[in-house]
Amino acid sequence: MQIFKKVSEIQDYLTKFNTKSVGFVATMGALHQAHISLIEMSQSENELTICSIFVNPKQFNKEEDLTNYPKSIEKDIKKLQEAYCDVVFIPSAEEMYPHQTEKEFHFGVLSEVMEAKHRPGHFNGVAIVIERFFEILNPTHAYFGEKDYQQLAVIKALTKKINSSVKIIGCPIYREENGLAMSSRNKRLSENQKEEASKINKALTFVSEHKNSHSITQLKEYFINEMATNSLFDLEYFEIADKNTLEPIINWNEATSYIAFTAVNVEGVRLIDNMTIIN
């Protein structure tokens, strides 16, 4: 496995390697099995797979969230080696952002609802870093998890906006046995908190299973109440949105496919999850 920290070095390597297909997986480290599932998806479709590890300061709207973000670089490298990843790119912020200029992206509704509303500037930071990675690595394919569904939609919109030919592939949500969506942030939860946090998935499952007998208002009330009665939880939002536009809806029949989205703080650890309701 090749490890690069410098833009010029990885670019030299990629020029020499000259492959037809390069798959890219962007991560912020603290790797877990969900990240590895993205790597495996890339490996199955490309000659070369690159994984980046970069905790992108531009996508954190709260300083403490950035400071508390878990880091485990040695373990991450070992996991990637064991997964036979070809190339790891671990740039510094200086390598990524040699210039001071700050771009501004607008993605319509995607820049306004749910994650965008609750984390101002977050998707602008995501768009900046992904555009930069595409510029440096010039991948043919890029893999993103559906756990961050709105991010996946933003990245698809970004590639259109910048006329990029990178094929964006969404990968299914990878869960713990108890249903909790895997996340680097789970490392900050105790065993008890993890068990409690699995109730987020259970409440989403209830919503999904009761779509035929309940109105959206009733399902929202149910979800809000489930979160409110758990003293560990602080609900940021719960929405049922159009799967294609991500516009929150208030009545069934407004769209053909729906996804329920939520963000919940579990004693200070911010977790997101989603579930497709009608396919």
The catalytic residues are 35
In degrees, rounded to 5, the angle at the alpha carbon of residue 74 between the alpha carbons of residues 69 and 77 is: 100
In 3-state terms, what secondary structure has residue 172? coil
Q: Which residues on neighbouring strands pair with residue 175, listed in sequence order?
A: 181
Nearer of residues 236 and 254 to ligand AMP, judged by Cβ? 236
Rounded-to-integer distance, Cα 33 and Cα 221, Å? 33
User: Is residue 201 near ligand AMP by the rule CB under 6 A?
Assistant: no
Nearer of residues 101 and 279 to ligand AMP, judged by Cβ? 279
Among 7, 10, 36, 38, which residue sits at the site for ligand AMP (rule: CB under 6 A)? 38
Among 40, 148, 196, 239, which residue sits at the site for ligand AMP (rule: CB under 6 A)? 148
Burial of 259 (0-12, 13-18, 19+ CB in 10 A): buried
Among 150, 184, 193, 274, which residue sits at the site for ligand AMP (rule: CB under 6 A)? 184
Among 109, 182, 249, 255, which residue sits at the site for ligand AMP (rule: CB under 6 A)? 182
Rounded-to-integer distance, Cα 106 and Cα 53, Å? 26
Among 10, 14, 22, 28, which residue sits at the site for ligand AMP (rule: CB under 6 A)? 28
Contact 232, 122 (CB under 8 A): no
User: Is residue 128 near ligand AMP by the rule CB under 6 A?
Assistant: no
Nearer of residues 34 and 96 to ligand AMP, judged by Cβ? 34
To which residue do tokens 């909790």 refer? Answer: 180
Rounded-to-integer distance, Cα 4 and Cα 69, Å? 22
Smallest distance, ligand AMP to C-beta of residue 221, A: 27
Residue whose CB is nearest to ligand AMP in the complex, by number: 145
Kindly give, in sequence order, each residue whose CB lies less than 8 Å from that of residue 167, ignoring residues fewer than 6 positions away: 140, 141, 142
Which residues make up the interface to ligand AMP (CB under 6 A)?
Answer: 27-28, 34-35, 38, 144-145, 147-148, 171, 173-174, 181-184
